[in-house]
Amino acid sequence: MNILSTSQKGSRLVFALAAVLLFTMFSGLSHVSAAESLGQWTSQINEDSAALEAVEPSGDTIQTFKKNPENFTARMGEMASFNATCDVRFTAVHPVYRWFGKLKGSENWVILDDDTNYEPGKESVIANLNVPREVDGAQFKCAVIDTDSNSVLAESTVATLTVIDPVWVEKITINHVSSQVHAQSSLLMRSTVKPDNASIKDMHWSVADGTGSATIDESSGILTGDREGTVTVTATATDGSGVKATTEITVLPALTPIEADTRWYNSTDTVFSLSTREELSGLAALINDGTDSMRGKTINLAADIDLSGYAWQPIGNRLEESSTFFYGTFNGQGHTVTLGDLTVINGGSLIIGLFGNVGSSENPAVLSNVNLVVNGDLIAESTWSKRYDFVGALAGRVINTRVENVHVSGNGNLIANANSEFGSPCIGGVVGVSNKSTIDRCSNALSIRTPEASMLKATNYGGIVGASVDTRILNCENSGSFNITTASPLEIGGITSTVSGSDENFDSIIANSYNRGNITINPATGSYISIEAGGITGDLFKSAGKSCRVENTYSAGSIQATDSRADLTHLGGIAGIKRAGGALDSNYYDTTLLPDAHGIGLDEDSNGPSDTGAAGLSSADMQAPDKLLKNLNTLADSHTDYLSWKTGEDSYPTLTTKRPVRVFTITATAGTGGTITPSGTMSVNEQADKTFTIAPDTGYRIKDVQADGISVGAVSSHTFTSVTADHTLTATFEKQSSPTPTPPKPTPGPDTGVDSHPSNILLSTVLLAGACGMMLALGHKRR
């Protein structure tokens, strides 16, 4: 590996880094330590001295450079670079830039690198990312060489590199999202150093056994538990300063593996019932290995399932392969799933929860009627530059999915941590991020908090959804609070961090919902970050969506941001910031809890705080039946006919059922010669949609499809929308006919010279067919 590089290689590096930045939003480079860099420098120059015959530039008739390399001073561990440019157009066929270098005290110049694409006026750069002490006083110069004659065409002046002391590390703080790790599981150790401009910030990690034992990767800081007890982790600065920091970690018992049970599955059935953790793990296995996405199939939960203490793998846990997403219907039937600790660490983006990835633009899905109790920490951490992590108790990410009647509670936590300020983790009590979906009648009582002494870099928090795009959030309630310490820009809302519309075919809305949770934000010391926080949403905007609005909601919770800059902080009783295209109507917030707030922290239409579509009421008025309760019920019926607002236990309004949710049945049957998916009799909630796919077997075609006895044609799919009654769907098929051609009867005409005997007619037909085949083949060949 060449330590020094020319402009050609430098520009390739720049474009490569740019590509990584565009794809991952951040790229991190692991620095080589000063000691390692010194070894590379000295071995590089020594090897070059012995292996290369240096061209001795002679300056007798040499033309000068337009730009000569200049003396350079760098701190040890920082980058040093030299630039040179020659403007002359040479007659030589193969001129190249060639850099020469020699260490201080050496008499011999050695060749360091070539740029084989010399052009007049082109700049050549030679650079090193980590300057060690031993290259102090080294000299560099550039020449243009004719590679045919090995003669020097032009030569620059000499530049000297001066290496000075680095900015030493003075203090190390070890950050980790938990002080515990399970045996056979991992925990990522991170570090921050002071001063911020320290030249070398890399750490060497080590671990010492105490009553327990663990191992650690000395460069990445990934700690893996071994034996129960305590261990001490040490981070040592690699800049030679000798500065260290330690932290104690407790190793817990190993999580119990779950043996996946797939005996309940066969590829022909469309409705399945699961009642054990092994069967639920079997569903995850079938999805995650790509066996079956469950498209058009229904999974019913038949019992409560406790995953505490078990090593759970989310259903649909592989982001890079859409064939491993869940595309079916999951009906919890009112049962409870309890989640314990779940930590995922790797270099990619992470999507975790009970489910990982659910649905796609082409494949709708349904998650419904389940209670989730989170009694452990769900943690997602990437180890290098990344775009996002999505964490939600129910699902990390849903697309084109209906989520209904899902309720989250517990004393656990949801955690995501970006490796850099370019990451965009989204954390939601129910769903991490939602796109083109509907979230209806869901609630969250789980409080979300950052661990102590941990500088998390997660950017989006929401009580129901971490971030929502082209999504309808209806009839939802959040009572979980937030206590967030962060060094990254932050958007946070009691219901969702963002309400954004980007597709003109979809509404993006929060309606008939409320928040009772408190929001506390603690920017990391010395960080100047933008904060958008609202009782319902942090950010509200429309780019190209059909609509983007918040209506008929209320928030009665405190919102505060400590040690924040006023010009970067926007707090609103309903929305932190409302941008172009966003709209609010008939929303209310508690002015007793937020005495100095407005409904909108920053309304970009007026370039200041605003109460447009958001009225402030005192706590007493919000609890008065003839005030807030009356106003909410005025619009409630426009969003649902089975929910209404009533006075809750503490006199604040709460959502209640006017009547039970009605459930209807659809019976789908297929005749001989094809299939209908899903098939059989299934339950569908009122106002839900249900799509069926009709496919003929080989040799058959669809004859007719009838919905409720009425023909809808020979269609390959049919959807019952906004179901309000029972339905039937029947498909019939027929064999495809393959008529045998009948030779035409001969007609009187001129004598062709061909005998009309049947055998001769057959021979003529064969010859004609062969000729036609040959002509077709030649035609294909010409094309």
Residue 474 has pLDDT above 60, yes or no: yes
pLDDT in tens, 379-423: 888 776 556 789 999 999 999 999 999 999 999 999 887 665 555
Q: Which of 605, 367, 598 is nearest to 465 (CA)?
A: 367
**pLDDT tens-digit map of 483-498:** 998 878 899 999 999 9
Say which DSSP state 99 is in: E
pTM score, two decimals? 0.70
Of 435, 277, 427, 408, nearest in space to 352 by CA:
427
Query: What six digits make up the tokens of 764?
Result: 């003529």
Does the pLDDT value for residue 20 go beyond 80? no
CB proximity list for 154: less than 8 A, separation 6 or greater: 62, 63, 64, 65, 86, 88, 90, 143, 144
Longest Cα separation, the chain: 111
| Joined tokens for residue 64 | 């000068």
- For residue 750, pLDDT beyond 50: no
Higher pLDDT residue, 471 or 32? 471
How far is the C-alpha of 474 from the C-alpha of 464, rounded, in Å? Answer: 11
Give me the pLDDT at residue 668, please: 95
Average pLDDT value for residue range 160-183: 91
**Superfamily of 7-164 according to CATH:** Immunoglobulins (2.60.40.10)
Does residue 29 carry a pLDDT above 80? no
Give tens-digit pLDDT for 752-782.
Answer: 233 334 333 333 333 233 333 333 332 333 3
- What are the pLDDT digits (tens) for 526-539? 677 899 999 999 99
Judged by DSSP in three states, 133 sits in helix
Best-predicted range by mean pLDDT (262-271, 339-348, 504-513):
262-271
What SS3 state is found at 16? helix
State yes or no: pLDDT of 44 exceeds 90.
Answer: no
Give the whole-angstrom CA distance, residue 201 versus residue 79. Answer: 14
Residue 523's pLDDT is what?
A: 84
What is the rounded average pLDDT of the residues 59-78? 78
pLDDT confidence of residue 622: 94
Confidence of residue 1 (pLDDT cuts 50, 70, 90): very low
Please, which residues bridge with residue 95 across strands?
Answer: 146
- DSSP letters spanning 551-596: ES-EE-S-EEETT--GGGEEEEEEEEEE-TT-EEESEEEETTTSTT
pLDDT score of 737 more than 60: yes
| Domain 7-164 shares a fold with domain 171-252 | yes
Token pair recorded at residue 482: 């937030």
DSSP lists the bridge partners of residue 244 as 236
pLDDT at 640: 60
C-beta of residue 642 within 8 angstroms of C-beta of residue 658: yes
Only one residue has tokens 């789980």, namely 446
pLDDT above 90 (res 729):
yes
- CB–CB of 600/609 below 8 Å? yes
**b/e map of 389-399 (b: 16 or more CB within 10 Å)?**
bbbbbbbbbbb
Mean pLDDT of 75-96: 87
CA distance 310 to 300: 22
Q: How far is CA 123 from CA 57, 79, 82, 400, in A?
A: 20, 18, 10, 52
pLDDT, mean of residues 681-691 = 86
pLDDT, greater one: 495 or 658? 495
Residue 146 pLDDT class (50, 70, 90 cuts): confident
Q: Which of 299, 296, 273, 295 is nearest to 354 (CA)?
A: 299
User: The tokens of 698 are what?
Assistant: 């080989």
Q: Dihedral sign, CA of 302, 308, 310, 315? A: positive
Higher pLDDT pick, 677 / 425: 677
Distance separating alpha carbons of residues 449 and 455, to the nearest angstrom: 12
Task: For residue 116, give every residue at least 6 positions away whose Cβ sits within 8 Å of its Cβ, in sequence order, or none.
Answer: 8, 94, 96
Q: Where are the domains of the chain?
A: 7-164, 171-252, 663-735
Look at residue 3 and tell me whether its pLDDT is greater than 50: no
pLDDT digits (tens, 9 = 90+) for 602-632: 999 999 999 999 999 999 999 998 889 888 8
- DSSP assignment of 476-538 equals -EE---EEEEESS-EEEESSEEEEEE--TT-EEEEES-EE---EEEEEPTT----EEEESSEE
Of 176-185, 321-330, 386-395, the range with the highest mean pLDDT is 176-185
The pLDDT value given to residue 380 = 87
- Chain-wide mean pLDDT for the chain? 82
What integer pLDDT is reported at residue 239 of this predicted model? 85
Write the CB contacts of 387 (distance below 8 Å, at least 6 apart in sequence).
23, 24, 25, 349, 423, 424
pLDDT in tens, 367-383: 999 999 999 999 888 77
In this prediction, residue 62 carries a pLDDT of 57
Mean pLDDT of 270-295: 95
The secondary structure of residue 98, as a DSSP letter, is: E
CA distance 44 to 132: 13
Distance CA 207, CA 229 (A): 13
Q: How far is CA 616 from CA 121, 499, 634, in A?
A: 66, 21, 18
pLDDT band at 456 (very low <50, low <70, confident <90, very high): low
For residue 411, the cross-strand partners are none
pLDDT at residue number 749: 38
| Beta bridge partners of residue 342, listed in sequence order | 378
Q: Cα–Cα distance between 753 and 125 in angstroms, integer? A: 86
State percent of the chain over pLDDT 70.
81
Q: What is the tens place of the pLDDT at every residue in 536-546?
A: 999 998 877 77
pLDDT of residue 507: 84
Q: What is the DSSP string of 288-329?
A: HTTS---TT-EEEE-S-EE-TTEE---BS--TT-GGGSB-SE
Domain 171-252, CATH 2.60.40.1080 — does that match?
yes
- For residues 346 and 29, the model is more confident at 346
Q: Which tokens go with 244?
A: 């260290």
**Radius of gyration over every alpha carbon of the chain, rounded to an integer in angstroms:** 35
Mean pLDDT for the stretch of residues 430-456: 88
